[in-house]
């Protein structure tokens, strides 16, 4: 049977050290308050966008993060690669007797892939 001893905390005896620690703790608390406020702002702004444009907040949140981290292109490429893998493994969900896509389906897929490569986006402006 092993007995563990509690870690001892060295309590600063110098008033200057205690004051310095207190100052940093107050600044850290202020930092957490600012962080909470920013988090609340993001939540409210995303909710407002959802209500105004009818797009779920999760998509605006994803857009916010991709924009901030400049990660859209890498994620889009990864999703495209994953999609190809998934479709190959599951034969587009059609089973073993899957038919080849029609010329129209191939044209549509080609258009979508081209639009993704050129970042061509169409917006529904409500008209």
**Any residues with CB less than 8 A from the CB of 55 and at least 6 apart, and which?**
49
Domain ranges of the chain: 19-95
Q: What percent of the chain has pLDDT over 70?
A: 80
d(CA 62, CA 95): 33
Tell me the pLDDT band of 127, cut-offs 50, 70 and 90.
Answer: very low
Q: pTM above 0.85?
A: no
**Per-residue model confidence as pLDDT tens digits over 74-114:** 999 999 999 989 888 887 655 555 567 777 777 777 777 77
Residue 51 dihedral angles phi and psi, to the nearest 5°? -65, -40
pLDDT at 122 (0 to 100): 53
CA distances from 11 to 14, 17, 89 (A): 9, 10, 62
């Amino acid at each position: 049977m092993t007995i563990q001893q509690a870690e001892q905390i060295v309590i600063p005896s110098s008033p200057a050290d205690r004051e310095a620690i207190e100052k940093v703790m107050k600044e850290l608390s202020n930092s957490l308050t600012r962080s909470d406020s920013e988090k609340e702002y993001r939540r409210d702004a995303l909710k407002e966008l959802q209500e105004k444009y009818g797009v779920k907040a999760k998509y605006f949140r994803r857009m916010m993060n991709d924009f901030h981290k400049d990660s859209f292109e890498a994620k889009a490429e990864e999703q495209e690669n994953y999609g190809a893998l998934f479709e190959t493994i599951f034969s587009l969900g059609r089973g073993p007797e899957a038919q080849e896509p029609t010329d129209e389906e191939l044209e549509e897929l080609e258009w979508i892939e081209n639009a993704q490569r050129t970042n061509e986006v169409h917006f529904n402006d409500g008209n």
